[in-house]
């Protein structure tokens, strides 16, 4: 499912992004994903909107070495942020849990920490949407 471009497009649509371009490339037992999105910044505090603008671009890159996990980097071109970490799939009971561990850094004096918190919240919200779309996808809703 995670290597299916149609699933990734469904997630982007459910997240309400302005636009998205999904590219999945098989690589041995794994795959590479590039999901280039333009996202709305509605609901962000004014100090964050001044930094981000009315929309912002996020390029999500995942490098899966195999079916158990890989690396994740989210780039915001032109913004002084660094978001990177790992994704893994872990068996839990009769299912599987996707674990995402990221470090979010924003290099802006005085408000960098606040922006990091906001970015982390936005990423968490996106992962929650992906989880819900995934549950429906696995139940056969497409």
* 109 C-beta neighbours (distance < 10 Å), count: 5
CA contacts within 13 A on the Cβ side of 67? 5
Count the domains in the chain: 1
Identify whether the C-beta of residue 36 lies closer than 8 Å to the C-beta of residue 18. no
pLDDT of residue 50: 85
Contact 84, 73 (CB under 8 A): yes
Q: What is the pLDDT of residue 51?
A: 84
Could you identify the residue written with the tokens 């924003």? 106
**CA 5/CA 24 separation, integer angstroms:** 6
pLDDT tens per residue across span 112-138: 999 999 999 999 999 999 999 999 999
Q: Could you tell me if 72 and 59 are in contact, meaning their C-beta atoms sit under 8 angstroms apart?
A: no
Stretch 23-37: mean pLDDT: 97
pLDDT in tens, 104-114: 999 999 999 99
Sequence-separated (6 or more) residues with CB below 8 Å from residue 81: 104, 105, 106, 107, 115, 119
What predicted TM-score, i.e. pTM, was given to this entire model?
A: 0.92
User: What does the pLDDT look like over 83-103, one tens digit per residue?
Assistant: 999 999 999 999 999 999 999
Return the pLDDT at 68. 96
Distances (CA, A) of 11 to 6, 51, 93, 110: 9, 26, 25, 34
The residue assigned the tokens 């649509």 is 13
CATH of the domain at 99: 3.90.380.10
Selected residue with higher pLDDT from 103 and 52: 103
pLDDT reading at 52 higher than 90:
no
Range of the domain at 45: 5-138
């Amino acid at each position: 499912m995670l290597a299916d471009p149609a699933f990734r497009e469904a997630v982007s649509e459910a997240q309400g992004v302005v636009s998205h371009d999904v590219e999945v490339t098989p690589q041995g037992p794994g795959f590479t994903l590039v999901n280039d999105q333009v996202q709305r910044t509605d609901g962000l505090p004014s100090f964050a909107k001044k930094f981000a603008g009315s929309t912002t671009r996020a390029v999500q890159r995942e490098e899966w070495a195999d079916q158990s996990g890989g690396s994740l980097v989210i780039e915001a071109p032109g913004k002084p942020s660094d978001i990177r970490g790992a994704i893994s799939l872990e068996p839990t009971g009769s299912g599987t849990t996707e674990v995402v561990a990221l470090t979010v850094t924003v290099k802006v004096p005085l408000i960098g920490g606040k922006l990091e918190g906001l970015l982390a919240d936005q990423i968490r919200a996106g992962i929650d949407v992906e989880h819900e779309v995934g549950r429906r996808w696995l139940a056969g809703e497409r």
